[in-house]
Amino acid sequence: MPLNLAEKIQNAGVVGAGGAGFPSHVKLGKPIETLIINGAECEPLLHKDKAIMRHFAPQIAAGLDYTIDWLSAKNTIFGIKTKNKGEIESLKKELLPPIKFHFMSDIYPAGDEFILVYEATGKLIPQGGLPLDIGCVVVNVETLFNIGLAANDIPVTEKFITVTGAVKSPCTFKAPIGISFDDCLKLAGGATVRDFAILSGGAMMGELVTDISTPITKTTAGLIVLPVDHPLIKRRMLSQEKLERVGASACDQCYRCTDLCPRWLLGYQIIPHEVMRSLQFSGPRWEQFSMKALNCIECNICSLYACPEDLDPKNVCAHAKRELFARGLRPDKSRQVEVHPFRSGRQVPTALLTRKLGLAPFDLPAPYIETDFAPQKVRIPLKQHAGSAAVPVVSVNDKVVRGQLIGDISPVALGAKVHSSIDGAVKLIDNYITIVRG
């Protein structure tokens, strides 16, 4: 058992692999009552967490044992979808009582930690709060995999990733951090259409990327390749100004965005249809309606599933939330949270969502493959985590080896360490550290 797991996690550069990349040494900094493992993987078409659970269950178990001991967790609950039979079978061989399994329906967004905590424990996180406020910590399965490595002084230099959509051979693999999206596409046989764009991170919450030289990071979950004329791509290309102009003129206040909002159904004050009213106002009235966006998690149910007018409440909410956060406004943590009585009947099945998104033709297996891919170059971002960018500790022309520290945590800010993913020489340092093999 490591003397100080948090220190080893910090030295290894472990961050949350299933979300915004919050540094794990901070998240796992003190004892808790309940540890919840997030194996939901709710984004359509992505399979990397399932691949880890099916093929690397012993490594997950090792990381989990270290984490349970370090946090002195009294209860451990593993959240996984009932449909993932093979993954459950693999995990049950390694995870023994008192670890409990919580089997989940195939809904989106089952992996939202507020939803997972409620489903697994029956407890509601305070509005604007964290799982820690009710004695819980949620950890993604890939993060556990990396914690197991960190306990043995092995830093994070690789990333599990699914490449799917309009590619010849959809697949899931483990690759060096810093390889390009283009490299990833080649490992999947290349794109099957000439003009394409990529949704990095998922169809619902991912980002639109058109530059295939973009590198993968510690938080890249998957790449969905789609033709540029696919509705999801065309929507992502609309400007904020146009989204707001159309929303102001076309929203008929049908309430459907609010009726299906997962956080609203849990009882949190997120009311998208009222935020849409803010488009008609400025000043105090804008702020009055925009305050109803502070609890938005940007899951995109409102925009990509609920709205019958194909408007974009999510982007309106996200824009308002960021503006209010910049003003120092936060959700009211004292507000009582109560689950909506119709919640169970308003959850969104992933299969139905996939069809609504126009992704059914791409809903194919993306099996895990072993690859010996050895990139000639990597571009490793100094900021691939929540907080401040890492500070370079190498110089141009320095020789480095795989696993060597190349970026350290700023002494005055939240952050994570960054390590080289290949042997080579440092060729350029800007917002990235470019390393060329040889």
Q: Is residue 235 part of a domain?
A: no
Whether residues 32 and 136 fall in one domain: yes
Whether residues 47 and 145 fall in one domain: yes
Give the predicted TM-score (pTM) of the model: 0.96
From 150, 175, 195, the end of a domain falls on 150
Whether residues 337 and 272 fall in one domain: yes
Identify the pLDDT of residue 398. Answer: 98
Q: Is residue 170 part of a domain?
A: yes
Say yes or no to pLDDT of 73 above 70: yes
CA–CA separation, 144 and 66 (whole Å): 9
> pLDDT tens digits for 275-310?
999 999 999 999 999 999 999 999 999 999 999 999
Average pLDDT value for residue range 222-227? 99
Say yes or no to pLDDT of 1 above 50: no
Whether residues 11 and 120 fall in one domain: yes
Q: Is residue 131 part of a domain?
A: yes
Work out the mean pLDDT of the chain and round it to a whole number.
97
State the CATH number of the domain containing residue 108.
3.40.50.11540
> pLDDT tens digits for 376-406?
999 999 999 999 999 999 999 999 999 999 9
Q: What percent of the chain has pLDDT over 70?
A: 99
Whether residues 146 and 12 fall in one domain: yes
State the CATH number of the domain containing residue 429.
2.40.50.100
pLDDT interval class at 3 (50, 70, 90):
low
Helix axes 57-71, 48-55, angle to 10 degrees: 90
Spatial contact of 39 and 49, defined as CB atoms under 8 Å apart: yes
Identify the pLDDT of residue 18. Answer: 76
Whether residues 96 and 146 fall in one domain: yes
From 316, 350, 384, the end of a domain falls on 350
> pLDDT tens digits for 77-118?
999 999 999 999 999 999 999 999 999 999 999 999 999 999
State the CATH number of the domain containing residue 250.
1.10.1060
Q: Is the peptide bond before 98 cis (omega within 30 degrees of 0)?
A: yes
> pLDDT tens digits for 110-157?
999 999 999 999 999 999 999 999 999 999 999 999 999 999 999 999
Whether residues 9 and 141 fall in one domain: yes
Identify the pLDDT of residue 394. Answer: 99
Q: Is residue 329 part of a domain?
A: yes
Residue ranges making up the domain that contains 298:
240-350
CA–CA separation, 316 and 400 (whole Å): 45
> pLDDT tens digits for 32-50?
999 999 999 999 999 999 9
pLDDT interval class at 2 (50, 70, 90):
very low
- Number of structural domains (the chain) is 4
Secondary structure of residue 432 in the 3-state scheme: strand
Residue 164 CB neighbour total at 10 angstroms: 25
Average pLDDT value for residue range 48-72? 98
